[in-house]
A = this chain, B = another copy of it.
Amino acid sequence: MVFACVGAVQGIDMKDEKDEKKSEKPGKEKKVVGGRDQLIQAALILASTTRSLASLGLREIARAAGLNPNTFYRHFDNFDDFTLTMILQLGASLRTSVRECWQQPMRKIPPADSADAAARIRRAQAIVKASTALIFDHFDAHKNTYITGIREIHGASPLLRKATNELVKNIADDLANDVLLHLQLPADDEKVVRETSLAIVRQMTFIGYEYLEFPKRREALQQQAEHFALLLVVGVISTQAPELMESMAQVLSAAKLS
């Protein structure tokens, strides 16, 4: 009833935000990246340092990207559309690049005599060690992506949960396939190798996140990761190929002294 004055109030939303983003290099390379990628990049930084992806605000992201809030709608329908696109895009790139971390050692470390069980086990050990180091470097190189991605694995959004869990599963399957092909292990049961790979990737989720939060702990965490992987390898061999146990015992007792 007393709202008659409302019509007269003008411009109360003017200067909503005081962006000072005018005329940065009005020369040639003005829009080297599209607003779409600017938004994704801004959201990645925000999500990895302040909040969960799904809880970010559309205005907040646009502000961080130096863009108008409405620009958001030019590229994405929903907020879900945005976050999902982002996770899928980042995830796909991560998946292919992390695979190199174990494929390279598998290629570089020469195959062992397939009759010499002990040599094959030693080779597996060496590959685990080299791969772990490369994976930690990979964490460093993709810090924000890892933090944001891992955060959504058990996050609140069912959509992102599904996407990230599929990513984990795919990475684990890549690992399993490569192990089956190139590790020269007597792994009769493919299912066991797949399950074990999944367990390793999941564990690396914890270790990697801890590493990114406390980089100083790298040495201890790297060793923990190697240890864990080797424990599983030994476990798999013991249950799948008990006939190799004695040669494994030799390798292990030799390693204990080092």
**Chain A residues close to B by CB (< 8 Å):** 2-3, 5, 8-10, 47, 50-52, 54-55, 150-151, 153-156, 161, 165, 192, 195-196, 199, 202-203, 205-206, 209-210, 213, 224, 227-228, 230-236, 238-239, 242, 245-246, 248-249, 252-253, 256
Contact = CB atoms under 8 A, between A and B. Distances in A.
Contacts of A51: 54-55, 156
A202 B150 CA distance: 14
Given A2-B10, A151-B154, A231-B236, A224 B248 contact: no
Q: What 4 A-B pairs are tightest by C-beta distance, nearest first?
A: A5-B5, A231-B235, A235-B235, A55-B55
A38 B248 CA distance: 58
Contact of A249 (B47, B55, B165, B245): B245
A239 B234 contact: yes
A228 B199 contact: yes
Contacts of A227: 192, 195
A221 to B, nearest CB: 11
A245 B246 CA distance: 8
Contacts of A253: 242
Contact of A224 (B195, B206, B239): B195
A82 B78 CA distance: 31
Contacts of A252: 238-239, 242
Given A3-B9, A245-B246, A252-B242, A199 B203 contact: yes
A151 B151 CA distance: 8
Contact of A50 (B154, B156, B203, B231): B156
26 contacts: A5-B5, A47-B156, A51-B55, A52-B156, A151-B154, A151-B156, A153-B154, A154-B154, A154-B209, A161-B213, A192-B227, A195-B227, A199-B203, A199-B228, A202-B202, A202-B203, A230-B239, A231-B235, A234-B234, A234-B238, A238-B245, A238-B248, A242-B249, A245-B246, A245-B248, A245-B249
Contacts of A2: 8-10
B195 A202 contact: no
Given A203-B202, A245-B245, A231 B196 contact: yes
A237 B248 CA distance: 12
Contacts of A231: 196, 232, 235-236, 239
